[in-house]
Amino acid sequence: EHFMLKEIHEQPTAVRTTITPRIVNGMPDFASDGIDINKLSSYRQIFIVACGTAMHAGMVG
């Protein structure tokens, strides 16, 4: 009916497809993304730069 409605219904699958490969034994694994988990754990803040719906998604995380 509407493209936006289609996108809304596809979101759970899209999120699952994106996140599942990065979870190993119940823990996040960012090695395939070139992110060292030890370095990541030393960060005090992470800034998410976005606008529109991406901004709202960043605010939730």
Domain boundaries, the chain: 3-60
Each of the 61 residues of the chain gets a pLDDT tens digit; together they read: 789 899 889 999 998 999 999 999 998 888 888 888 888 888 898 888 999 888 888 888 6
Give the distance from CA 47 to its chain's centroid.
14
pLDDT of residue 61: 63
pLDDT of residue 28: 85
Distance CA 16, CA 43 (A): 26
Rg (CA), the chain: 15
